[in-house]
Structure 1
């Protein structure tokens, strides 16, 4: 049997087997205290690894897009430069999927899914595929790889400390590692708790008991993250967008816009995922050929956008996490046409990346939502900050696969200066988008492939091992 997931281990009171300890009994046990200590301990190495992982991604992106063209004698980054760069990234992803153990991490087109803890054997594949994805410009984020690396590292440490650790304890320690890793990115242990709580689907009276080691690991990890900034001088990672336009009390018109934006995000996000699922079978059958081709498409879209506008290709490339604050702060420098072209190019590049690369689905969706909200804010009755907030929240819930609490919280973390005035309209947009996407879900992905290999459907993530 494979490693059990938190969803199968953590049961509600109605489904707990007879003789299992109650939450209070578990909380009072000596073993649980040891589990809390271990959770705090794993937060330190996980935060260190996450910190330098994110720093490596940041430096690699800057090197391949900006420094390397300059070193080769170009005055600036040529318009066509992203095309070979993302193709090289696609080739490296294809090689890692073909020759390294595992599947390189979760399928990002599925949204944010917290599955089984990755084994130590599979961690190099996750790291290699995600770094090739993120460094060369594919339109995905670092959150999903961080969760897998954090959980895998935490379980590895737990097994080194106690070789005969029970499976349930390893699941909780793995979750603690995921908390610590994702909290370094989101700069908030509570945001990490919301994300993983909704993704895993933990419920019942065991919630607090299971989350406590993870929250402790996340809190310790956050301290380590701040300390590493002072030691290394690399800088901090912050989600909050400073200097955003002030927003007044929500109006009736803004609630109407929240409904409209929620509907639009539900349709657009579903279309992005639908296209990704349509492309995936072709990529999985010929990974070594198809992933570089997918990279050419992503790079071509970035080059097209840079050629048509006076903006750089980085607006289309990468996850959009670092490009989002300047997009909002410099909104006056963007025309409606440029914003609409950005949404179109980024959405297509995002869809191709979801189908072929390895990374997280969160930040590109947030960026597309923000760009769409900015474009709509040129219309009457929609303030800029409100449009951005509604767009970010609505697209986030769709691309995460339906995590409404997390979508609202992430939006408010980004726009925290106006969180109080935004919360009501963001909630409306998120709920409308969530329901719309759920209604469209039968259309969002094609029928499963015909049964093969003895009557069982072929696994797209492993098909390339038989068809290099």
Structure 2
């Protein structure tokens, strides 16, 4: 759920102040001159009683939203070993057969295709479009969004959980607001929905700061209005984080925030590494453009026969995973899934990968990502980060580039190539590496800026008065826009 409000618009009207009162205040001018209206106070919404009520509601919804987010992530995490490890053993196999992804991803395709075709909300956000402005889903649409996401993420599609979490958080928050207030103001709905989405995705990203930048960049907010919208989200994320952490300790499942631990020591950036930042930025921009265009091309084919097309897409992802496993002797699961939990192992055990295995991993993962974007439901962030990190590790085998710097630049550059969110991409790459991220931050900034500028230049300019999304269906991150 992403907010897009007009700067200067009122979030809430104070019942004690007439809506036209401020506009009626005139300044004293020269005789005969037309009176000029006093500029509206941009902080006026924060001084209203209703805004205080909004903050109280945001604090209340943060806890249950994060509890639901925790349950969703726990279910996705438990489904993956259940389907690919426990189920084959229960059926009498000694380990997981190499061909096992074929029926599982075909089942995922059938489930997602049927959900998108028949249930309200069409399964939620279309990941091939990246992040875009849209409205919070209704409560009636949430079951379809959850079903499509669980089938996609739990059975092996190459997408992340962030888009379903944003939709779930925004939908639950808006549903709570509509239960608490009869006919709430449209702007109040937008702000409360954003707060719920903010709380849910911040728990996954491991930092309210990342959630704040994500919301800020996607919504295009700036100035005083930004603080007006972000304050409820920060409050909801803060209260929800307590519940998220507490549930992790109480259940013994741990938390699901994005964080790495065994990180090789980073060295001070060198002139050669700034040259690598330029090269990685350009290469990531072209790679991202290729992924996006192929995904949109395939999406058009899938939409013609939704169920059958999504099944074929699942089989294609399975085939890429099997081919990678057979060709490299490594686990096919490295090509499947979003990759956020595999980032730490990839970095820590990078020495165990041959150059050929890394090339195969980058190619197969990127192609599986394309196919998943075209047909399944989930978020685009983490697979982009994984592909970029594997590419950065591969390039670090060449002279002049250290492992940690290559990893960080690959993550940031590929993220911005797919998301077009430069500040969020820099933070994703640097906060992921903790204190080592501060050392390589200048390199990440250069790589991200280059990738961002080249990506925008590679994208065709939208037709005047048209949408910038080719073939857009009006769906946003939070589910479906008004249809």
TM-score normalised to the size of structure 2? Answer: 0.89
Mapped to 2, the partners of 1:32 and 1:12 lie a distance apart of 15
Mapped to 1, the partners of 2:219 and 2:2 lie a distance apart of 8
Distance change in 2, residues 1:150/1:459 (3 Å): closer
SS of corresponding position for 2:43 = helix
Mapped to 2, the partners of 1:333 and 1:112 lie a distance apart of 35
Q: Does 1:323 align with 2:342?
A: yes
User: Any conservation in 2 of the 1:177–1:214 contact (CA below 8 Å)?
Assistant: yes
List 4+ stretches of structure 1 deviating above 6 A.
Answer: none
User: Any conservation in 2 of the 1:13–1:204 contact (CA below 8 Å)?
Assistant: no
Deviation string, structure 1 residues 105-148 (Cα, Å, up to 9, x no partner): 11111112241111111111111111111011000000011001
Q: Does 1:69 align with 2:88?
A: yes
List aligned pairs for 1:443-458, cutoff 5 A. none
SS of corresponding position for 2:56 = helix
Q: Does 1:272 align with 2:291?
A: yes
User: Any conservation in 2 of the 1:284–1:460 contact (CA below 8 Å)?
Assistant: no
TM-score normalised to the size of structure 1? Answer: 0.92
SS of corresponding position for 1:359 = coil
Mapped to 2, the partners of 1:362 and 1:329 lie a distance apart of 21
- Count the aligned residue pairs: 446
List aligned pairs for 1:154-169, cutoff 5 A. 154-169=173-188
Displacement of 1:459 in angstroms is 4.8
Distance change in 2, residues 1:187/1:265 (3 Å): same
List aligned pairs for 1:437-448, cutoff 5 A. 437-442=455-460
Residue 233 of structure 1 corresponds to 252
Q: Does 1:6 align with 2:3?
A: yes
Residue 138 of structure 2 corresponds to 119
List aligned pairs for 1:24-423, cutoff 5 A. 24-400=43-419, 402-423=420-441
Displacement of 1:219 in angstroms is 0.7
Distance change in 2, residues 1:10/1:178 (3 Å): farther
Distance change in 2, residues 1:443/1:343 (3 Å): farther
Distance change in 2, residues 1:255/1:97 (3 Å): same
Mapped to 2, the partners of 1:406 and 1:63 lie a distance apart of 33
Displacement of 1:184 in angstroms is 1.1
Displacement of 1:443 in angstroms is 9.3
User: Any conservation in 2 of the 1:281–1:460 contact (CA below 8 Å)?
Assistant: no
Displacement of 1:458 in angstroms is 9.4
Moved more, 236-245 or 390-399: 236-245
Radius of gyration: which is bigger? 2
Displacement of 1:12 in angstroms is 4.6
Deviation string, structure 1 residues 353-385 (Cα, Å, up to 9, x no partner): 000001000000000000000100000000000
SS of corresponding position for 1:442 = coil
- Structure 1: segments with no counterpart, 5+ residues: 449-456, 462-468
User: Any conservation in 2 of the 1:261–1:390 contact (CA below 8 Å)?
Assistant: yes
Mapped to 2, the partners of 1:323 and 1:419 lie a distance apart of 18
SS of corresponding position for 2:391 = helix
User: Any conservation in 2 of the 1:187–1:222 contact (CA below 8 Å)?
Assistant: no
Mapped to 2, the partners of 1:426 and 1:173 lie a distance apart of 34
User: Any conservation in 2 of the 1:280–1:460 contact (CA below 8 Å)?
Assistant: no
Mapped to 2, the partners of 1:38 and 1:67 lie a distance apart of 42
Deviation string, structure 1 residues 221-269 (Cα, Å, up to 9, x no partner): 1111011112111111232211211111100100000000000000011
The alignment yields a C-alpha RMSD, in angstroms, of 2.2
Displacement of 1:312 in angstroms is 0.4
SS of corresponding position for 2:459 = helix
User: Any conservation in 2 of the 1:176–1:215 contact (CA below 8 Å)?
Assistant: yes
User: Any conservation in 1 of the 2:395–2:406 contact (CA below 8 Å)?
Assistant: yes
Deviation string, structure 1 residues 288-316 (Cα, Å, up to 9, x no partner): 11000000000010011011112101100
Mapped to 1, the partners of 2:345 and 2:208 lie a distance apart of 25
Deviation string, structure 1 residues 316-357 (Cα, Å, up to 9, x no partner): 000001111000000110011100000000000000000000
SS of corresponding position for 2:234 = helix
Displacement of 1:200 in angstroms is 1.3
